[in-house]
Amino acid sequence: MSSRGIGFKGITDKVAIIGMGCTPFGEHWDMSLDDLIREAAYCAYQSAGIDQDAVDAFWFGTAQSAASGIAMASALGVRDKPVTRVENYCATGSDALRAACYGVASGAYDVVLALGAEKVKDSGYQGLNAFPIPNAGTQLNVTAAARYAMVLEAYAAKYGLDVERARYVAAKIAEKNHRNGALNPLAQFQREISAEKICEMPPVAGRLSVYDCAGVADGAAAAIVCRAEDASKYCDTPLYVKAMALVTGDGTGVVDPSYDYTTFPEVVASAQAAYAQAGISDPRGQLALAEVHDCFTPTELILMEDLGFADRGFAHQAVVNGRFSLGADLVDLAVNTDGGLKACGHPVGASGLRMVYEIWLQLRGEAPAERAILAEHRQRGLGLTQNLGGYPGELVSFVGIFGTS
C-alpha cells in the first residue's frame, strides 16, 4: 500500500491536549451511558481547569451506543453548540480525537472536547459483529476471533515456527498485558496469569483461548484540546500532537490471493505517514512507549513488525525475550503499559482515547510508580498510539504520536 497522499504534512505542534479523563472499564451494571459520558467529561474538565462553558465544540465517538450527537448533548446539558457523532469501527475514539484536533487546527474553535464512550454489557450486543444484519449469504461468516486466529497460523508458516511455539508467543503477549493490567485500577481484568496457564486453556477460535481475546466492556474516555500556543494558559505540562495519520483500506485484502495475513498494510501506511509527520526515523530508539490495538494477541505480534518495533520475522523472539515489557533489562520500549485492550477491556468508542490517556499519564510522570516506564525512556518525550478497526485484509488504522515538548 502506498503512503502517498495520506497526510505527511499534518498538524504537527499546532494542537495540544490540556486535560484528560477516563472511567474504569468493565461491567458497569449500575451506570448508564449518560453516567459514563459525564464522568469522563467532568474528569477532563477538572484536569484542564475549565468548565463546560469554555468548550466551543464536541466530538462524540461511539460505535453502537448512540446514533447522533444528541446522546452526548443530553447527557452533558449542551445547548446551542455543535456535537458531532463519529463512528469508524474500533478506531472510533481515535477518529473523534483526530476530528477535534483538526477542528482546532483549522482555527474554527479555541477549545474542544473529544469523548469516546460505549455501553454494551447490558444491551444484548457483544461486539460489532453481533448485529443480525440480513445479507445475500455471500458475505464471510467468520468471527473476529477466528479471523485473527488465522494470523497466528500464517505467521508461523511464513517464518518457520512450530505452531505450538507460535501459540506460546501469543500467550506471552497476554501474560505481559495482564501483568500490566493488574497494576491499573481502571482495567477490566486486574489479574496476572502465566503464558503456560493460557496455553492449557481450551481454544475458542483456532489456537486462541478466551485469554487471547479482548474483553467486552463499558467505559468512556475524554480529551480537552486547544491551540498549542494557548496550552500554557491551562496546563503546565500539555501533550502536543506530533502526528495523526488515518488510513482506510478498500477491503480487497480478503479476496486477494496474494495477501498472506502476516502484515496489515493499512497499519504500515499509517505508521509511515505518522513517522514522517513527527520526524521519526527510529521508532525503537525515539519513542518512550506505545499503546497498540491488541484486540487479539496475534494482532499485537504483527503490529510490533508493522510499526517498526521489531524486524520482519523476529517479533516472536522480541516478545519472548521481554523487549516490550515494563522494567525488562533488554526493553526496547514498553508496549501497552496499562494492559491494552486485552486487560483493560474494549468499549469500542473509548479505546482509542484510553490509549492516549495512558500516554498522558506516562509522559507527564503521573502513572503509578509500579507501572511507570523507565526514566531514560520517558526522557524521549514521545508516545505512540495505534488503533485499528475491522479485520485482516479490510482495516482502518490510526497512528498518533504525542509529545511533551
Q: Label the pairing between strands 334-335 and 289-291.
A: parallel
Q: What angle do CA 54, 228, 5 make, to 5 degrees?
A: 115
Q: Which long-range contacts (CB under 8 A, 24 or more apart) does 157-162 make?
A: 158/260, 158/262, 158/313, 159/262, 159/313, 159/316, 161/316
Cell matching residue 18: 490540556
Half-sphere exposure of 52 (CA within 13 A, CB side): 17
Q: Is 346 a catalytic residue?
A: yes
Q: What is the rounded CA–CA span in Å between residue 141 and residue 144?
A: 10
H/E segment holding residue 404: none
**Residue 18 CA: distances (Å) to CA of 44, 47, 365:** 9, 8, 15
The residue from 22, 28, 43, 90 that is catalytic is 90
Q: What is the dihedral of CA 139, 141, 142, 144, to 10 degrees?
A: 70
Q: With left for phi above 0 and alpha for psi between -120 and 50, is residue 80 left, alpha or beta?
A: left
Q: Is 178 a catalytic residue?
A: no
Tell me the Cα Rg of the chain.
20
Report the 10 Å Cβ neighbour count for 153: 16
Cβ within 8 Å of residue 290, ≥6 positions away: 307, 309, 333, 334, 335, 336, 383, 384, 385, 386
Q: What is the rounded CA–CA span in Å between residue 347 and residue 180?
A: 18
- By three-state DSSP, how is residue 101 classified? helix
H/E segment holding residue 289: strand 289-291
The residue from 28, 293, 316, 346 that is catalytic is 346
Q: Are 278 and 317 in contact (CB under 8 A)?
A: no
Kindly write down the DSSP assignment for every residue of 147-200, as one continuous string.
HHHHHHHHHHHHHT--HHHHHHHHHHHHHHHHHHHTT-TT-S------HHHHHH
Catalytic residues: 90, 346
